[in-house]
Amino acid sequence: MSDKPVFVTKPHLPPLAEFIPYLEKIWESRILTNCGAFHQQLEDELGKYLGLEHIALFTNGTIALVTALQALRISGEVVTTPYSFVATSHSLLWNGIKPVFVDIDRNTLNLDPARIEAAITPQTTAILAVHCYGHPCDVEAIQIVADSYNLKVIYDAAHAFGVEDAQGSILRHGDLSALSFHATKVFNTFEGGAIVCPDAKSKVRIDQLKNFGHAGEVTVVAPGINGKMSEFNAALGLVQLKHLDRALAQRKRIDAAYRERLEGVKGIRCLNGAGEKVANYAYFPILVDSGYPISRDGLYDKLKEVGIHPRRYFFPLISDFPMYRGLPSARRENLPVAAQAAQQVLCLPIYPDLELSIVEEIVQLISSQ
Ligand code: T4K
């Protein structure tokens, strides 16, 4: 096995030499933050790359989510998934909103639109869904329910950078989508995030909210927060973008290698896409079922013994954490599919420069139990 530990991901970085000239410009201009030139340039270039017009950069994906909910003035109850990173539900609690957990679809592990209606009450104002692992939600079905009950739709698109359906970016769906550019994501700015806005007017409001609510030097129009991305992070994003297509192609190769080699291993299911036209291969989740000789946790331990560090994203379920488990919707009987997925899933290492020989060794270990 590799002499160095192999983690679930390794952040992609451009050659340092390409970043230095950007740092020199920052040192020269002394503009470090507050929506400077690199911030503006990255918003423009991301817009072109993703085929979207209105993107507001953020300091991270969590503050982007919190702000998206503020921007839409969401309150009361919000229907959401228990099968995600905890930031999804935390963004609701930070806004004083009650999460109402609804089970996920067995095949995609995304919020199951067929179960949303039963969770709606007079207090429900929105649906917060996650494109889990970058696989798109059933956006049409979710929109139909939202339209029937006059609900807003927010997508936690932390995993979904660059993913497209037949008409273009999946980030255009819903009222707002929030992205993460964290170190562990397909496109990273060390820390960072963004909100994809439908129009210029909503971007103005979101830009104000991420800048303390300022609308000019002496005018404050809302109780905003500091959610601005710094010039350092924006500059890194500009350099990262130049290498992104290659990094995505490398991820695709690794995804294909795992799929080919794991096919036919009894008790192991590789999660398939959810009909996306362009995938981003952000994660490689497998599901370990009862047909496999050892449990998911047994396999997790075996891999760790030899220096391979997969992750059990998403175990425990959000609804099992102390600040959520008292909610009626957090009951196990309400979430059987999510509860089972949380016991079965293992995200195997995937990142652009993961050697195929390591993929081979991981598969060898999995198939020899
Ligand atoms: N919504 C969803 C659906 C999300 O998945 C996330 C974040 C958010 C919202 C919030 O977005 P941000 O506010 O984070 O922008 C990681 C990430 O910290 C988190 O961003 C991510 N989701 C979540 C799924 O995974 P941990 O606690 O598992 O990270 P950590 O530090 O254990 O990193 C995993 C592995 O990556 C490490 O074993 C080694 C490697 N690594 C990590 C970092 C940070 C590196 O090699 N270098 C690094 O700098 O949460």
Whole-number pLDDT of residue 1: 62
pLDDT in tens, 5-62: 999 999 999 999 999 999 999 999 999 999 999 999 999 999 999 999 999 999 999 9
Per residue in 348-357, pLDDT tens?
A: 999 999 999 9
Q: What is the mean pLDDT of the chain?
A: 97
The parts of the chain modelled with pLDDT lower than 70 are 1-2
Ligand 1 atom 42 nearest Cα: 184
Q: Which of 178, 107, 117, 105 is nearest to 144 (CA)?
A: 117
Angle at 65 between CA 62 and CA 67, to 5 degrees: 110
Asked if residue 267 lies in contact with residue 293, where contact means CB atoms within 8 angstroms, the answer is yes
Q: Is 85 near ligand 1, meaning CB less than 6 Å away?
A: yes
Q: What is the pLDDT of residue 3?
A: 77
Question: pLDDT tens digits for 185-226?
Answer: 999 999 999 999 999 999 999 999 999 999 999 999 999 999
Distance CA 225, CA 66 (A): 10
Which atom of ligand 1 lies closest to the CA of 132?
Answer: 3
182 lines ligand 1 (CB under 6 A): yes
* Interior angle at CA 91, CA 320 and CA 181, nearest 5: 105
CATH 3.90.1150.10 residue spans of the chain? 244-367
Asked if residues 267 and 291 have their Cβ atoms less than 8 Å apart, the reply is: yes
Per-residue pLDDT, 85: 98
8 lines ligand 1 (CB under 6 A): yes
Report the chain's C-alpha Rg in angstroms.
Answer: 21
Which amino acid residue places its CA nearest to atom 25 of ligand 1?
184
Please indicate whether residue 195, judged by its CB atom, sits closer than 6 Å to ligand 1: no
Q: Is the CB of 64 under 6 A from ligand 1?
A: no
Task: Give the pLDDT of residue 2.
Answer: 65
Best probe residue, ligand 1, of 58, 85, 186 (max atoms within 8 Å of C-beta): 85
Instruction: Say how many C-beta atoms besides its own lie within 10 A of residue 287's C-beta.
Output: 19
Nearest alpha-carbon partner for 343 in 304, 302, 312: 312
Q: Which atom of ligand 1 is nearest to the CA of 309?
A: 38
* 16-102+109-239 under CATH 2.40.30.10, yes or no: no
Nearest CA to ligand 1 atom 23: 85
Q: In terms of CATH, what superfamily is 244-367?
A: Aspartate Aminotransferase, domain 1 (3.90.1150.10)
pLDDT at 187: 98
CATH 3.40.640.10 spans which residues of the chain? 16-102+109-239
